[in-house]
Structure 1
């Protein structure tokens, strides 16, 4: 397997960074994960916009453009022989002295990983369970897609490695937050509900896409603070992320749900599938 490292395509065994990188020492780093569909990086512009915003917050002096990343991805995919792939674009702060740095990071390390994926197919259903572990609050004013992942890892340990189960975080105040690696939605009638960004969740790119797609279906979308019991009466529930796409929930805390037979999740999946090979940004 080949990896992109600071402008070069290298064998994975040759991909190394310094132990003095502040991404390693202090977690000063960000990443984006997205899918390549038949050679197309779906919603790349939105992923880069979020990444660039986070880099500014972390005082890392690097900004990405579509053309730069598109070129890097082409070389990486060609080297690996991938057409459909999982991509992780990782930016760490770079080498610094031991100790907390106030000055800007001027030489970050940029790594891009690719893993082969099958062509996108049918939706995979999951069960949703509420986690005992509470969602930690963001490190700053808003949650970044950062290297700080202990809360997620501990949550994953709580539910185990079963692939068809997603754990749902609650906030410390008891409101629905998000999944371990996903955002959550539920429908009641013509209204689609999802936790507000102000609960401390990550504003997922797929989350943003689904909100726009639902409005295009003339649905009302309500973002807010919701208790777990409010979801029991939902007509449909699903979770989203950029790799797993739209995942219908078949069971929520023992309550049976329609899963992939839900009419709205089917419509949203169709929109997602048609958009995945052409869109650079959310319309």
Structure 2
């Protein structure tokens, strides 16, 4: 089993889920997009992923805002409204009889090309929309025992060539970083920014705790994580100092606690970085407090 923040419990129901592809619901093995799709050819597309608990699409407004912003940045004209997309998502959940512990991924590409090319003018169709909903719960191993990180030599991009806040299909640099971490015997990769400060991880955002205070990056070179933003909100609500600042591996190696955040795993403790133990090799007290605060935010979403 793959260990990391996306480690999930096995669920046989996922073998028979129906996938939404441009208005059709197709069995998993029949859900296909043309090899001339812009996303396949050149990674020209944007995506969003969110959780569903007790029938509630968690933090959906934030996710849709981010999707629309990403599409605008790369010049994809979305031919439907947020309300229409919400209807399609709910149809996908309904046809699969899904209500709880669900992970949904929405993918939007520029469309089909007349020939393999990066030129958007050669797109001959409207955008392709795919919605994949799966029964997916985070495995207890990573959540309770924590994960290890390895600092990759692959840097997070600069906003002037590939803004890290953009949720696009071009993820090769993150894949390269993760491969380095796996080859080093770690679960996931820690990534630095172009100045050598700690930025983020290959698929999650990084936080550390020192002397009762929470540290995370400035946000200039890290993913625009919705869970990251919500953890900062939890800190503010509970009077916990949260610094958004530049810091280096020198600071990280001396952390009392560390954790990463993401839509799927929520808060996952980090127990080792570059072979160096962090804290007491388990979720620390502040990590546990913030996890409870985040879970309370989710419960508030469900009740609203």
Q: Same fold (TM over 0.5)?
A: yes
Q: CA RMSD in A?
A: 2.8
DSSP-derived class of the 2:133 partner: strand
DSSP-derived class of the 2:149 partner: strand
Q: Match of 2:131? A: 112
211-220 vs 13-22, which moves further: 13-22
TM-score by length of 2: 0.82
> Residue 63 and residue 222 in structure 1: after superposition, are their counterparts in 2 closer, same or farther (change >3 A)?
farther
Counting only pairs closer than 5 Å after superposition, residues 1-283 of structure 1 correspond to structure 2 as 1-62=17-78, 67-82=83-98, 83-98=100-115, 99-101=118-120, 107-118=126-137, 123-138=144-159, 139-141=161-163, 143-160=165-182, 165-198=187-220, 200-253=221-274, 254-258=276-280, 260-279=282-301
Whole-Å separation in 1 of the counterparts to 2:63 and 2:168: 13
DSSP-derived class of the 2:155 partner: coil
Unaligned runs of 5+ in 1: none
Whole-Å separation in 2 of the counterparts to 1:247 and 1:107: 39
DSSP-derived class of the 1:95 partner: coil
DSSP-derived class of the 1:147 partner: coil
Cα drift, residue 233 of structure 1: 2.4
Given that 2:138 and 2:265 are in contact with CA atoms closer than 8 Å, whether structure 1 keeps it comes out as no
Whole-Å separation in 2 of the counterparts to 1:100 and 1:32: 24
The number of equivalent residue pairs is 280
177-186 vs 164-173, which moves further: 164-173
Cα drift, residue 123 of structure 1: 4.1
Whole-Å separation in 1 of the counterparts to 2:262 and 2:86: 21
TM-score by length of 1: 0.87
DSSP-derived class of the 1:18 partner: coil
> Residue 63 and residue 184 in structure 1: after superposition, are their counterparts in 2 closer, same or farther (change >3 A)?
farther
Whole-Å separation in 2 of the counterparts to 1:155 and 1:94: 29
> Residue 144 and residue 9 in structure 1: after superposition, are their counterparts in 2 closer, same or farther (change >3 A)?
same
Given that 2:156 and 2:164 are in contact with CA atoms closer than 8 Å, whether structure 1 keeps it comes out as no
Q: Deviations over 1:126-176 (max 9, x none)?
A: 122222333344544553111111111112211228997221012243211
178-187 vs 97-106, which moves further: 97-106
Given that 1:60 and 1:104 are in contact with CA atoms closer than 8 Å, whether structure 2 keeps it comes out as no
Given that 1:134 and 1:172 are in contact with CA atoms closer than 8 Å, whether structure 2 keeps it comes out as yes
Whole-Å separation in 1 of the counterparts to 2:36 and 2:273: 44
